[in-house]
Homo-oligomer: A and B are copies of this chain.
Amino acid sequence: MGLVVQKYGGSSVADAESIKRVARRITETVNSGNEVVVVVSAMGDSTDELTDLAKGVSPNPPARELDMLLTAGERISMALLAMAIADLGLHARSYTGSQAGVITDGSHGSAKIIDVTPGRIQEAIGKGHIPIVAGFQGVSADSKDVTTLGRGGSDTTAVALAAALHADVCEIYTDVDGVFTVDPRIVPRARLVPVITYEEMLELSAHGAKILHLRCVEYARRSSIPIRVRSSFSNHVGTLVTSDKEAARLLAETSEGDTVEQAIISGVASDMAEAKITIVGVPDEPGIAASVFETLADAGVNLDMIVQNVSSAGQTDITFTLPMADGARALAALEGRRDGIQFASLKYDDAIGKVSLVGAGMRSYPGVSAVTFRALAEAGINVEMISTSEIRISIVTRAQDALRATQVLHTAFGLDSDGEAVVYAGTGR
C-alpha cells in the first residue's frame, strides 16, 4: 500500500503489444492496493524518427521548435497507454509535462526542472484516476514555451514527480532486470546488485554506466526518493537505489543476524566515449593552469580526469580527458588562446577507454589500488591515467584494452556470478 511512481522507457512501450503489457502491469499494481502515477517516454525509436523529420526541413532547426516537435513523441505514447489501461477497465488520464506542472528553465533541449506543481495530478489521484505523465518535457517558467529535459529526461521527470508527490518509491522500468555489477553485454557473468547507495550509483552513472542518468540519481538523493530499477519484461524485483543508512539496514536485514561483509566493489563501469587532450610545453608558472581551465569552461567543455606531469626545464604538460563530442570545441578554444597560454603543441587521442571501479566498501579497504594494478599488470594492460574519489578508482587504457580490463577487474574483485546474467531484452534497446 503506497504511492508509487512508475516510469516506463521507450523500449517498454515500443509497440501496441508492449503498451498493453505495461497497462496490465500498472493495473496489477493498482489492484494490489497502490496509488500509481505513471511517467512514460516516447515509443521505441520515435524520437529518432522525429529528429530525422527535422533534419529533412532544416540543417539547424531552432531549439524551441525541436522541443515542440519531440514532445509529440510522449504525447502519442501516453495517450495510447491511457487507452490501453481504459480498455482494462480502469480510469487513466494522460497529462503533458506542462499539465503535470513540470516547470523548467528556458534551456530548450536541456532544460532543468526548477519546480513541480502537480495540482492536476493530485486531483486525478484523489478521484481514483491513474495519471499518465509525459516524461522528458516541461514548460518554461518565463516564456511558457514547451521544453525538453535532454538525455535521461524521463527518469528525471519520474523522480521529480515522486518527490513532489511524496511518493514511497519511484520505479524505473527498463529492458534489463536491474543494476548489474557490470554491463552484462561486456561480462556475461555480471551479477545483479540488489541494493546500491545513491553515491555509488552517481559514480557509476558519471563514469559510463548507462542504466540511470546522473541527473535523475542526483535528484533522487537530494529528495530522498528511493529508486527501484527493474524490467518491464520480467517480475524480478530489480535493484533498489537508496541512502547509505537504508542500504546498511536492508543488508543487515537480509543477513538475518549473521555478520556479512559489504562488497568492496559494487560495480565496474566502462566508458568508451572519452578522448584525451595533452597540452604540451606549458610554462610552469602560477596561473597558467587556471587560464587553461577557464578557457575550457568558457567553451562549455566538461572535463573529467586531469593530470599534470612533473615539470622539467620550466615547462610542463597538462593532460585531461573529456567527452569525445567536446573534442573539436576544446581544441578550437585552446588554439584560440595559444598566445595567452603559450603552449608548444596540442595532442588529441580518442583511442582510449576508461574503466571505473565503484564501491562504498572502498572506504574501509585500503588494498583496492593494489588489487587493481596487480590484476591489470598480470593481464598485460598498461594504465595511462589514474583518478580516484573516496568510493571510486578510474583508470584510462588504450581503447582496445578497456573491455578486457573491465572483465579482468570484475573477476579480480570476486564479482563474477556462478552463471550468466539473465537479461530480458524486449527490443534489445
Which A residues lie at the B interface, using CB under 8 A? Answer: 15-16, 19-20, 23, 50, 53-54, 56-62, 64-66, 68-69, 71-73, 75-76, 78-84, 86-87, 92-94, 99, 120, 144
Contact = CB atoms under 8 A, between A and B. Distances in A.
A16 B69 CA distance: 14
Contact of A66 (B57, B68, B78, B79): B79
Contact of A16 (B19, B20, B53, B59): B53
B65 A79 contact: yes
24 contacts: A16-B56, A19-B57, A54-B80, A54-B83, A57-B80, A57-B81, A57-B83, A57-B84, A57-B87, A59-B87, A61-B86, A62-B82, A64-B93, A65-B79, A65-B82, A66-B79, A66-B83, A68-B79, A69-B75, A69-B76, A69-B79, A72-B72, A72-B79, A120-B144
Dominant secondary structure of chain A at its interface with chain B: helix
Contacts of A15: 56
A66 B60 CA distance: 32
A69 B79 CA distance: 5
Nearest to A52: B16
Contact of A86 (B62, B75, B99): B62
Contacts of A56: 15-16, 80
Contacts of A57: 16, 19-20, 23, 80-81, 83-84, 87
Contact of A76 (B20, B50, B79, B144): B50
A137 to B, nearest CB: 11
Contacts of A58: 83-84, 86-87
A87 B58 CA distance: 6
A60 B88 CA distance: 11
Contacts of A59: 87
Contacts of A65: 79-80, 82-83, 86, 92-94
A65 B92 CA distance: 9
Q: Ordered nearest first, which 10 A-B pairs have the shortest CB separation?
A: A16-B56, A69-B79, A61-B83, A58-B87, A68-B79, A58-B83, A72-B72, A57-B84, A72-B75, A65-B82
A16 to B, nearest CB: 4
Contact of A68 (B68, B78, B144): B78
A64 to B, nearest CB: 7
A54 B94 CA distance: 14
Nearest to A70: B79
Contacts of A80: 53-54, 56-57, 65, 69
A73 B82 CA distance: 18
Contacts of A82: 62, 65, 68
A61 B82 CA distance: 9
A385 to B, nearest CB: 42
A209 B276 CA distance: 68
A82 B64 CA distance: 10
Contacts of A78: 68
A67 to B, nearest CB: 8
Nearest to A74: B72
Nearest to A139: B99
